[in-house]
Each structure stands twice: as structure tokens, then as C-alpha cells.
Structure 1
């Protein structure tokens, strides 16, 4: 049976930049009425029954010819269905409480700024506001910023700014030729339109989203992004004015996960990104099959997709939030209230601050932004930071961990669906097995025993010790876990590199009861490139009281390197 699905639905890109202080930037836009008076190109998604890998093709026609072309396509016996791709478009800025625009930036009890970026003192996402703190900076200190991350951003309005490094980009929108030109200033249509108007007309949303997630810290410019040493892979899926069609998001996902894009064969195959952020929402009542297929492909490759819940003060039950396997983010205020504009409900997985976010926009100008559009990149960046240490976790693992990684919102959120609550990045890293401390063991011939190493490695001493080579001995010290259950044995374990550092994920290689400090030769330093090692003092059979906070410590493989004398 053939199906005709006409979905002429306007989707809303969630938020735009809102200015609340003098000299901040507010974007201006072409009126929607003016845009929709023009003849538009509509994309028809055609599903075939004779295609195996990717059964969808696209046909683009003027809006006045949609019905005729649809009927023509359905006469083809190989066509199963024809679906009109829903539109996506920029929204009006969400309504923000007046008190948020005048609230002092450096709130009482806030942390002392640690970066020299001019906007950093006003970045309340890094501060404890009335007892609410996402602990973003503390969590970031647990991972190595030398591990570069690549964050995919599907959006529009990308511009060059000092704070953001675009690794690459591609245009999937229809106002300019599909191809590598993705920055506003590099697309002739955008620059010509702005020049003729004599002012800034077009959307800067993608720039602001990218900055919130990845802005370089300590460069005396802009703000400090949540994930450092992170680049942006920009997929432009809307035109200069912030309009587009939902099928472009599916194309962008396929491109960012390193798959081929059937409808854009010229798009170069790239290395998969680490996480994808989509601050776009649609009023489409379900996740179209072609979009779910792209999400599933990302899931199979282990790439999480983070999406904004929307700004309609309603349920997050439209568009990409309806796709299985995405991480949907709602918004709260800095002091833990439910944001008045945010969507909520059972599809929401987690919440993050989304009101008066200090940000940076075109020409490196500081601004403020509100909306779930800006809560979402905070969450995407937190996940990217987690992946710097744990890169084998699946999107399902992350979604499961998020159910236990939040703190409750204030009473005004009671009865609304916020998933795990307001993200606490420290708890998420605990749940994902990122060690808080890496201090639990040292080579047996280092430190206070270094003075004995010459005697211990003497051939006579080694003959006496037999199979026990002092060069291979490692001292384990469980005193670094003062809050652990001291009735439990101290266990040394290993997991595959990049796997959450939890004893249940690997093998116990040694275990001692009744001692907090002992020697083991079970750690093979030559295998340190393949394994991560840890020490646990908890019930390893059930894992019930095993936590990064109290009873697990990581072992720094660099500290296990034997003395150079051992190789003589």
C-alpha cells in the first residue's frame, strides 16, 4: 500500500541570541511573513522498496508543484511512500524572567574566576548560585585536555570568531549550492543580501552554540567553553535566515558520523565526530523514518546525539526529541528553577542551565543567550569531556548514567519531567567510571625504598627472591580511600583502555584482606597501553558500594615505570 505523507509543518529552531545588557548583541532577522510570501523549494522524501541500504531519495520541487509531483511519483510501482519534509525555522527568543536580566553576575559564594577571558567572570554556569552548581570546572579537571575532541554541530549561522575553531564544515541547506561553503561570510547569497540591506540580517545561532561548547579559554577573548581543546565540525542545515527542512538534519548526521550521504554525494567522508549537538526542534509529531535511520547509524557507531527540548513551555514530544536514542536536554535557571519557556516531559533525559548564558557572537562580541538551544551544548560538551577518559561507552550507557547524574530542581519543577534532574558533571563522571584521583600505586622501588634499589636488584638478591622480581613490584596504598568500607578486601583490577574504570567491567588481578598497604606483582607495566588499572575497596561481587568518590582510585601507569637501573 502506497502512502502519501504531507507534513507542511513549521519547525522551530529553539532560541536566538538575546541581549540584556548595554553593548550586547541582538540579532535581527528577515520577517517570517516576508520569507513565506516567496516561492519556496520543497523536499519530497521518496521511499523505495527496491533499495537495501538506504531506501530514501529526495526530489526538490517548487511549493506550487508539490501535489502534481507527488502524484507522479506514486505512480511508480517501486515507490512505497512520498513524504514532504517538515520545515525547520528560527524562533522568536524565549521570554525570560525580568529578574534574570538584572541579576548580579558574580553571585555570592561564586568561585573565583580562573580564566582571563573577559566574559568568564559573568559565566554563571561555572558558579554555585544559591546552592545549585553543575560543577563543570571541577569535572573538567578530572580529564586530560591533551585529548582533542571533535563536536559536531548541526545548525546555521556559523561565522568566524576567535574563540571557535572550525575543523571543517559542509552546507546541506538549500539557499546556496550544496558544498563546502558553510560560513555566512563565505556564502555569496548571505553576504550579498546583507550588503544590499546595509545591516546584519542573518542568523548567528550556530556561532553562539559552538562558542558555549568549545570557546577557547585563557586567550583574552570572549568566554571559556565547557570543553577545552575541542573543535567544531559544522553542518549547515538551514539557510541564511534560519529556515530549512528536516531532511537536512538526517544528511548532517550521516556526514558527521563518517558515513556517505546519498543525497549529497559530493560531501567528503570525514572521521566520525565524538558527539553531535542539535539545537533545533520540529513540530513534526513523530521522528520520520529517514531521520531515525540516521540516528540509529550514529548509535551503532557509539556517537551520542544531544538535542534541545524546545522552548514552547510544553511537552518535548515533537521532531527529533521523538527519535529513539537521542539525549534530550531541558533548561533551568541558574538558581535551580524550571525555566519558564522550557519543554519538559518523559522524553527529557536531563536538564542544564539555559537562561542568560554568557556567550560570544559574530565579531567576537559578548552577548547573553537563553533557551534550551544553549543548555544542549553544555550537555554535549560535558559528554565530550567524559569521552576524553572513557571512549568505549555507548549512547545507551550515557543515557542510563544520566538517570543518576542530576540534582533535583526547585519546587517549581515538581511534576514536570526533567529526566535525571539538573546535570552534575562530577556525578556523571563518577557514573561513567572516570576516576576522581589517580594516586593509588607506585613502583616498588620508588619513593622511600629508592635507597634500597641497588641492593634489591643485585643478582644475589634476585636469586634469593626467586620468581619475585623487585623491579616488577608495585605498592598499592588504600589509605587514599578513607571513606571506603574498611571491612572489604583491597582489590587491584584492570579494564580495557577507554572502558569505565569499575571493577565489574574488567578482571580482578590481585586482592588482599586486612591490609591497606601491600605489594603486588600482578600489574604488567608492558600492557599499560592496552589496559587501565585501578584499586577498589568495596563489594566487587555486587558493585553496590563501588564509587569513584569513595572506594575506587585509578593507577597512573606513568608512576609504575621501573627504575632505569632495572634495565641494566
Structure 2
């Protein structure tokens, strides 16, 4: 008998184990334990009835049982046996006909698909073997997919603020687009970013909220001032700090409670209040500790982590006889932290008043978060005014509590601030050397417009937080195509350059034009650019304003720009005063010298 490499078929019914083993040994089929279960999808052109005459070239080698609903085949490579449902056309159980009827010859023929599991060494092994039978039109592998890669945390459906506001099916116009950075795959690949939460009531609840270190600065309360900072479940105190920390850093994809908006973060805790109440000075000390100041004499070990953002969801009325002000000890601590590159996010307060009457949100250099609801309207309790920088979700925010089995939601700007903190964690992951001023800038430039008309005169910040847009803006801050001066035609192809010169001549206007590009992102709105020149030979000479514009690209004649004699910079402003907090970039000029002029324009 002539042997071929075509599959050998046998019945899978009532096979004696000893005979089965002997058969495997005779046929040389391996019983390797390394097989994996594969989901295979096959299709048929026409009804198929398996018989001894149905295999392409193996009729003499086919042996089928009369009643079996499965058939087994030796694989082409001889490595194992695979068993599949007996193909029997559209009448076969589990075969789905995708076209219900055929009414004319011009309509597509019905396609019969069948899905089944196969134990094999690889899909290629299955595909080669099944295709060699001639029974199937196609043999394909089922593709494992995830629902947008979302985590498996059971209360994820309560976290409306993670939605894309443009596509949300739950009318979440006030959402923040965190899902754009929170797929399982993205979180697994993210570099960890350190975040400090200055608050009270941090509980040890296990894996759902992991703290990587902390200390207590409050002078009274259930935890004494020192290195301890966590409460055990059952101890009586507010769980405010736990709730705020969980918004940022609740463990994702562990099948418990919520997903933290910050992705892969290392959360550190500083207890500044005694169960929700305490002195502001302890909060200032906490800021200094995170920024590197030593409190070892107070029995508190030096901070060993690295934080990019601090969150303060706390505050008080700031009125004193001499007026409204931020306490100097708090402002000093903020300035110290900012000098170390740490951004500070604070809540606006829940009094429904002017935020200038609330501290530390009236301090300089902090990013102030107001609250909005699901629909994008300002929350009625949220403080408002010029000092508010941005708005984020503050109504029915899903938060952790010591009872991890209980789903809870809270209102307040205390829960708006950690969304902004979370957004900045993602931004620092993209731009680790970003300054606090740049962090504030990208939040403002990327914010979405309010749906609430009252924000136009009350002041709710520049808009609603949008993480996806924020990261797009962050990517443009120091890209090669931003903040540069170059010859206008250099961005065109050589073919287009030649066409221009052939059409208009070397003396044409475009050959002598320089293009200044500020942010290479036309979608960025609400920013004003001030371009300055300075004499690099005389650093003491005052700089001169060249142009102020809202356009992100400007054309100049080569007679108006001299990169050989002057340095150029641009200041990015988001307010009319173009304050000292505005961002300055040096303009790159290496492509703007006369020798860099397009060759077709040179004599």
C-alpha cells in the first residue's frame, strides 16, 4: 500500500484505550502534553457529507464509523491526532448560515460557518491538516479580543468620568477621556509615576489600594506624628484620604472595586489632618517633606520616593482682618516644591463662593480644580472665580471606603482634584522633565468648552479636563517641529520647490520668507504667543517684542529676522496679563541661516 502524507481518519466512538495507544504507536503519532486548545472557524461552499470518497487523495486510507459525530485525523506533520466535528453541511449542528435565503442568481450564496475547539501544537498544524481534506472553503483561527481592553474591575460601570465625552452612551459630557489611556495593555506598559496625597484617613484595605510609603504630620488624631500613617479597617475616622487616593491609584484589573484614573502610579500618603480637620501648617510640612526637606528630628524618616504631583483636597476660608491671602508658610512650601519640579493640585472648595476666599486654592503656583457634573455643568457647590484653572468631575464620584465590598459615591471638589492629579501623572509619563508651569499650561490649552453658560461670568477655569487632548498638546511642547525658525520653502518637497521657482523665479517672495512655528498643533486654542528678540552679544540689553499673535505659525521677510545677530524666544500666555507664570521657549534657529536656504533659491 502506498503511503501518503494525507490525514488518516478514524472514528472517535468506543475506542478501547489499549488499542488507541497501540494505534498511536503504530502510526507514530505523539501524545505530547504541549498541545494548546485552539478555537477554529471553518466555512463550507456547499453541503458536505464526509464519506470514504470525500478526501482529496486519501480514499484508500479513510475509515469512518457510521454513528460518530466527530472524526479524528493524523496531522500532516505526523506529530499528533486532532479530532473535529464531522462535516455534514448546513444540517450539521452548530453550523450557522449567514445568508438566510437566495432569491436570485445575482445574490451571494449562503456561507456556512462552523466553530469548534481543537487540541494541537499550533494553528498552522491544524490549518494545513484541515485544508488537505478538501472539506472546507476556509480554515481560520478565532481571534481573542477584549472590550476595548477595559479592566475587569466590577464597578467600572459607575466611573462615568472615564468615558470619552464624544462617544459616551451615558450622556457623560462632563467626562474626561481617561479610557484613552486605561486599557489593560496600556496600564501594563506604563512607567510608574509617583503621586503624593496630602489628606487624612488612609486605611490599609489590601491589594485594591497600595500605598508605597507615607508619614503623619498632624499633631493629633488616631495616628501619632511619625512614620505610621495607615489605619486598620474598623478604626474610627474619616476615610476621605482613602477615597481621594483611590480615584488616582485604585489597583486596576484585579477584579475588585474600581480602576484608578492615574493608571500605573505609586501613591504616597501624608496625614495632615486629624480625621478630616486640622491645621494648614501640617499640610505645608507635608509638601516640604515630599519635596525633600528633612523632619528626622521629629521622628519622621526622610521621604524616599519620587513624586511628580501632589494632591491637596482640603482647604478653609482665608479671610483675615488684613484681607484675603494665602498664608506665607503655605506659599513658601508651594514655592519650594515647585522649585523641585513638583506640580501641586488643590481643590477649589465647596462653599459655592469666590475661590479667592479659600486657601490654599488662593495661593500662587497651584493648579485649582473646580467641579462639574456628568452633563458638563458647573456643580452648584463648587467655588468659582479667576483662580480656578480647570474643571473636573465632582458629583457621584466612585470612591473607595474601608468596606471594600460596598460601592459608594461622593460629591465635592475633593474628588475633582484627583482627576487632575491623575491626568498629570499621565502627562509626566510622556514628558518626565515637564515643569509645573508647563503642566498647568497643557491642562488649560487642552480643556474642552463648558456646556454651562454661567461659567462665562462666574469663572470655572479654562474648561473641562480632557486627558486625550492634554497628551496631544503635551507632545507638541518640545517636538522638533515646534518652536523653530526655518525657511518657508524648506517644508516643501524638492519637486514642489523646483515648481515654485520655475513658476515665479528665484527672486520671488517665498524664496526670501522665513517661517516661525510656535506650537505645531493648530487645534490648540486659547493661547497667545509673544515672540521676543535679544542681542546675544549684549545680554544686559533689554529684549524687544517682535510680534504678539494668536496664530501658531507666522511668516517673516528675511530682512525682519536675523538669526546671526539675535536669539529669539516665545512666551506662551493663557491670560491677558501674560503673567510671570507664562511659559517661555527658546526658538531653534539652526535651519534659518542663509546657507540653509533651499538650493533652488540660491544663486
- Evaluate the alpha carbon distance shift between residue 177 and residue 433 of structure 1 in structure 2; reply closer, same or farther with a 3 A threshold: same
2:521 to 537, 540, 546: 546
Secondary structure class of the residue paired with 1:305: strand
Q: Report Cα offsets for 1:73-102 as digits up to 9, x if no partner.
A: xxxxxxxxxxxxxxxxxxxxxxxxxxxxxx
How far is 1:430 from its partner? 2.0
Task: Give the 5 Å matches for 1:223-234.
Answer: 223-234=258-269
Whether the 8 Å contact between 1:316 and 1:344 is mirrored in structure 2 is yes
- Evaluate the alpha carbon distance shift between residue 231 and residue 545 of structure 1 in structure 2; reply closer, same or farther with a 3 A threshold: closer
Whether the 8 Å contact between 1:433 and 1:548 is mirrored in structure 2 is no
- Evaluate the alpha carbon distance shift between residue 335 and residue 150 of structure 1 in structure 2; reply closer, same or farther with a 3 A threshold: same
2:347 to 308, 322, 326: 308
- Evaluate the alpha carbon distance shift between residue 334 and residue 516 of structure 1 in structure 2; reply closer, same or farther with a 3 A threshold: farther
2:150 to 102, 110, 114: 114
Whether the 8 Å contact between 1:119 and 1:223 is mirrored in structure 2 is yes
- Evaluate the alpha carbon distance shift between residue 131 and residue 292 of structure 1 in structure 2; reply closer, same or farther with a 3 A threshold: closer
- Evaluate the alpha carbon distance shift between residue 541 and residue 271 of structure 1 in structure 2; reply closer, same or farther with a 3 A threshold: same
Secondary structure class of the residue paired with 1:216: coil
How far is 1:322 from its partner? 1.5
- Evaluate the alpha carbon distance shift between residue 333 and residue 132 of structure 1 in structure 2; reply closer, same or farther with a 3 A threshold: closer
- Separation in 1, partners of 2:152, 2:495: 43
2:428 to 387, 407, 416: 387
Q: Report Cα offsets for 1:382-427 as digits up to 9, x if no partner.
A: 0011100101111111222333221222224331211211111122
How far is 1:243 from its partner? 1.9
1:514 to 469, 472, 493: 493
- Separation in 1, partners of 2:265, 2:486: 35
- Residue 341 of structure 1 corresponds to 381
Secondary structure class of the residue paired with 1:272: coil
Please tell me whether residue 327 in structure 1 is matched to residue 363 in structure 2. Answer: no
- Evaluate the alpha carbon distance shift between residue 145 and residue 323 of structure 1 in structure 2; reply closer, same or farther with a 3 A threshold: farther
Whether the 8 Å contact between 1:274 and 1:384 is mirrored in structure 2 is yes
Please tell me whether Structure 1 or Structure 2 has the larger radius of gyration of its CA atoms. 2
Whether the 8 Å contact between 1:145 and 1:228 is mirrored in structure 2 is no
How far is 1:136 from its partner? 1.5
Please tell me whether residue 146 in structure 1 is matched to residue 199 in structure 2. Answer: no
1:178 to 213, 225, 230: 225
Question: Which is further off, 206-215 or 397-406?
Answer: 397-406
- Residue 446 of structure 1 corresponds to none
Q: CA RMSD in A?
A: 3.1
- Separation in 2, partners of 1:369, 1:430: 30
- Evaluate the alpha carbon distance shift between residue 508 and residue 208 of structure 1 in structure 2; reply closer, same or farther with a 3 A threshold: farther
Structure 1, gaps ≥5 residues long: 1-110, 195-200, 435-498, 518-538, 552-568
Q: Report Cα offsets for 1:5-43 as digits up to 9, x if no partner.
A: xxxxxxxxxxxxxxxxxxxxxxxxxxxxxxxxxxxxxxx
Please tell me whether residue 243 in structure 1 is matched to residue 277 in structure 2. Answer: yes
- Residue 163 of structure 1 corresponds to 208
How far is 1:232 from its partner? 1.1
TM-score normalised by L of structure 1: 0.56
1:421 to 448, 456, 463: 463
- Separation in 1, partners of 2:465, 2:515: 27
- Residue 116 of structure 2 corresponds to none
Task: Give the 5 Å matches for 1:372-521.
Answer: 372-409=413-450, 410-433=452-475, 500-504=478-482, 513-514=492-493
| Aligned residue pair count | 343
Structure 2, gaps ≥5 residues long: 1-146, 320-324, 497-513, 525-551, 553-603
Whether the 8 Å contact between 2:194 and 2:305 is mirrored in structure 1 is no
How far is 1:431 from its partner? 2.0
- Separation in 2, partners of 1:323, 1:277: 14
- Residue 252 of structure 1 corresponds to 286
- Evaluate the alpha carbon distance shift between residue 507 and residue 118 of structure 1 in structure 2; reply closer, same or farther with a 3 A threshold: farther
Whether the 8 Å contact between 2:161 and 2:174 is mirrored in structure 1 is no
Secondary structure class of the residue paired with 1:219: coil
- Evaluate the alpha carbon distance shift between residue 394 and residue 283 of structure 1 in structure 2; reply closer, same or farther with a 3 A threshold: same
- Evaluate the alpha carbon distance shift between residue 203 and residue 389 of structure 1 in structure 2; reply closer, same or farther with a 3 A threshold: same
TM-score normalised by L of structure 2: 0.53
Task: Give the 5 Å matches for 1:190-201.
Answer: 194=235, 201=236
Task: Give the 5 Å matches for 1:347-386.
Answer: 347-365=387-405, 366-386=407-427
- Residue 218 of structure 1 corresponds to 253
